[in-house]
Chain A
Amino acid sequence: MSQDLKIDLEHITRIEGHGSIVLDAKNGKVVSAQWRVPEAPRFFEAMVVGRSYNELPHITSRICGICSISHTLTSLKAVENAMGVDISDQTLLLRKLAHHAETIQSHILHVGYLIAPDLFGVGSVFPLVNTHKDAVVKIVKLHRLGNEMSDLLCGRTTHPVSMAVGGFTKIPTEKELTEVKARLQGAVKPANEVIGIVLANAGKLPGFTRETEYIGLTSDEEYALYDGVIGSTDTGRHKLEDYLSITNEFVVPHSTAKWTKHNRDSYMVGALARYNLNSRKLTPLAKEVAGKFGLKAPCFNPFMNNVAQLVEFAYVLEDSIQIIDELLDDGLKEEKVEVKVKAGRGIGAIEAPRGVLFHDYTIDERGKCVKANCIIPTNQNHGNIQKDIEALAPTLLDKSKSEIELNLEMLVRAYDPCVSCSTHYLKVKFV
């Protein structure tokens, strides 16, 4: 590789949304390396002003097509906290199951469709249909399972319909849940086979490490996905109400998405952050998957986020079966939902597939939203992606241009960024 290099990876592929990497090296040294987010901003916090409390989950769901269930659930939690609405145990279990359905769909989409092509050295999943048909069919079946669970619980695969403030407008039947349970049990074997294929190719994941802060929800009760308080690997536990002093959003000129920082220049959220905070709470199958890959907390290799997603995939399969057993033991009942409008402010938080998500609404006495704030997982990762690029790029300069590009793209993809979300609002640029 020559001593001078300009790379402009515009609109990185196989990620959600538009992001670019611009790298400039002179005399064998990196002069600048920048992560840019040119996605058109969408201004959700302004869009919801004046809208009724029961429309907020339906509007903010549209922040993201991949994690619309997480946005809906976080929005419901924020509204319910603001107005003092309680939910039943049945609603809680059905919501957790819907949330798991999304994690299944999102994690297998990422590892199976977006990451696997890098492990096999191809540009997309399409050529793998011919060369690795058996593996692709298994991945498609697991993806379908997540989507069909979402359909059943939410009334639609993307942008939930039936989850409402206080409860559900329609619930599945016991027969439908029993069928899903059987399919989840049947999914354990193909999931292990897909995990085995990734394991056989895991050597392609770079061995890069950089110590950073990891933030996510944490709980004494369980591996925190639906509920918890804020946890940091640097500073311990914090109350949800303090989320603004954890996230500290700021604007940079080369990104329509806001960035965040807490105890250091940047922090990471998502599957690896959750694993680093909460791995002790995982189920046996999930721990076994982590063991196969040698994943141990704390792990400072961002590329291992892909592996942490597989560990969580195994966890949500097991936990979904347990939730369905609980629901069936108690027996499903139609519950009447009555909601009383009350003015107030409420914060909701959840672990979306890509990391911790916050919605914060102020609602007036007519039930209308007067103020909203949404802090998205990918926003919280932008600063860490930048710092990783700065650390990784100098180690790559002896490689060919295409190898440098591939490594930088793989780094960004490992974060599973959701740029539409973060600009509620990808591409590498070598200039």
Chain B
Amino acid sequence: MKPKVAFFDFASCEGCQLQVVNLEESVIDLIGIVDVVSFREAMKEHSDDYDIAIIEGSIARPMDEERLKAIRSRAKILIAFGACACIGGVNALRNQFPIDEVKKRVYGDADIKNNPYFDVFPIKSVDEVVKVDYYIRGCPIDRGEFAKVVTSLALGKKPEIPNYPICVECKKKENICVFEEGKFCLGPVARAGCGAVCPTSRCGCEGCRGLLDDPNTDSELEVLQKHGLTLEDALSRFNMFWYKAGVRK
């Protein structure tokens, strides 16, 4: 029996779901091993009977929390899909400001009090609300990795998710280290799996897949400061995609 898969999106750009479409011809192979029963961005049909729930986006409001809990109660396996779901993503940048200030900056003096659509709390990742079984990381996710995880689950296997730094993948590609060009990179402490896509384009890693399980952040901070960043700037480098975790000052 093919496992039934459903996609759900919360606060996000939906760019991770787009990566599924971007598998191009391989999508046709994937739908040979799983049944997609809900994928609002691409199909009209919807069913509440599913085995695997794939959650994109971060959680912003009580109404979204309730929806997520209902999805969890129906799913055997729940996957956090992309940086917003896994670690808060860029959405969490607003957590550094008080909610009222954030609302005022965007909606001005409009009357949005007592309106549930606008009833936001500080951004949460999916695992701050419900239990997450697997994480597919990145902003956006790597579509090859997505296909691998889904294939493993369809075969009843446990998918392997990397827990080594970007530097490992970057070295394999024989890239010149971007530090040598005077740029800044989180490669030494950031989780791999993307194939070091940013350093390969001569940009420093911004850590969209989050930190390693046991990162040496103190030494990374030292390296960043050695390359001319102030402590404030170095810390801000760490929080583009996971503000809630922050880094100890």
Residues of A within 8 A of B (CB): 11, 13-18, 38-43, 45-52, 55, 58-59, 62-66, 68, 109, 113-114, 117, 123-126, 129, 137, 140, 143-144, 147, 155-159, 161-162, 164, 169-170, 250-251, 253-256, 258, 420-421
Contact = CB atoms under 8 A, between A and B. Distances in A.
B135 to A, nearest CB: 18
Interface stretch (B69-77, B90-98, B146-154): B90-98
A14 B41 contact: yes
Contacts of A161: 197-198, 201, 203
A42 B60 CA distance: 8
A14 B44 contact: yes
5 contacts: A14-B44, A41-B118, A42-B60, A124-B43, A126-B31
A46 B106 contact: yes
B41 A155 contact: no
Contacts, number: 167
B201 A162 contact: yes
A113 B197 contact: no
Given A13-B46, A62-B139, A147-B22, A52 B28 contact: no
B24 interface: yes
A123 B41 CA distance: 11
Nearest to A421: B13
A64 B94 contact: no
Contact of A156 (B101, B112, B117, B197): B197
Interface of B: 9-19, 21-22, 24-25, 28, 31, 36, 39-46, 57, 60-61, 64, 89-91, 93-94, 96-97, 101-103, 105-108, 110-112, 115, 117-118, 120, 139-140, 197-198, 200-203, 206, 233, 236, 240
Contact of B16 (A49, A63, A65, A170): A65
B10 A62 contact: no
A269 B133 CA distance: 42
Nearest to B91: A42
B89 to A, nearest CB: 7
Contacts of B25: 137, 140, 144
Contacts of A13: 40-41, 43-44, 46
Contacts of B22: 143, 147, 157-158
A51 B240 CA distance: 9
B201 A68 contact: no
A234 B148 CA distance: 53
A59 B240 contact: yes
Pick the 5 closest A-B CB pairs, nearest first.
A65-B15, A155-B201, A124-B43, A251-B110, A123-B44
A159 B139 contact: yes
Contact of B233 (A40, A48, A52, A251): A52
A159 B101 CA distance: 28
Contacts of B13: 62-65, 68, 420-421
